[in-house]
Amino acid sequence: MGGAGRGSPSAVDQPRPAWTLTELRLGVWAVTLVDGHEAVDDPVLTAQRTVASLRRWVALDRDRHLPDLAGAVNNLAVDLSEAARPNEALTAAREAVDLYRELVGIDRDTHLLIFAISMNNLTLRLAEAGRPREGLGAARETVELHRELIELRGEAHLPDLAGAVNTLAVYLCTARRPREAVPAAHEAVELHQKLAALDRPAHLLNLAASLDTLAEALAGVGRSGEALAAARGAVELFRELLEAEGEVRSPDQTISTAVPDRRLAAALWRQTMLEQIHEPSA
């Protein structure tokens, strides 16, 4: 998820280092003085300084501070992505995954969730950097990690698994492997349908997106009738989202509808193409 994939060291209940006052002022939070007042630097510089400071702490006590460094490097990857620096973001995301892989080797139960988050972050960064083959491998591993989390901790992690499976289906479509994409896309739709039945507003966008992915996968294997049905379902849900946003918007309030609006346009294009294939005389 730009900001998707951000993790916090505290998310895995790791003790935060006892920062010295010098570290807090000069590195960790990147606070500077502007006209005699404290001001926070840009997010990337802040994250870079935090990472640099934590590297020094890790050199002194690796076991204690490694989880914090891993989280900070993962956050740096997200900040670099949001700053449109994809290659640097990918480098940071790779390092974060390597650090968390080391940590799960030491204590898998404690670090498994944040490892899965960092792997998902790497999947997104590989897509941004235009490396679909590597991204496909990361997407597969992300799915397996989230399956393991559900086995260990229950269905609280179902939304993450649903998103990871849909991402895998997208990667398989991009890699022109639609036969493998179809079962993944079907699973993503089923998972999001289950979630939407529990909380429709929270999961409607992801359900619509997974239906759109399913339409692409089915079209890739020549099942145009099923693909058209999935595409129409996606269009209907995207329209529902836009109508719902319009209902809650006050006349003088501007609420961004860029995501569902953009996805609706893409879904409508796919629906139109499939109608021309499946219903040429219509």
Contact, 137 vs 123, CB < 8 A?
no
Chain centroid to CA 258: 18
Q: Write out the E strands in the chain.
A: 31-34, 37-40
Q: Per residue in 206-250, pLDDT tens? A: 999 999 999 999 999 999 899 999 999 999 999 998 888 764 444
Write down the domain spans for the chain. Answer: 1-130, 170-247+257-282
Q: Per residue in 35-90, pLDDT tens? A: 444 445 689 999 999 999 999 999 999 999 999 999 999 999 999 999 999 999 99
The pTM of this model reads 0.77
- In words, the CATH class of domain 170-247+257-282 is mainly alpha
Contact, 170 vs 213, CB < 8 A?
yes
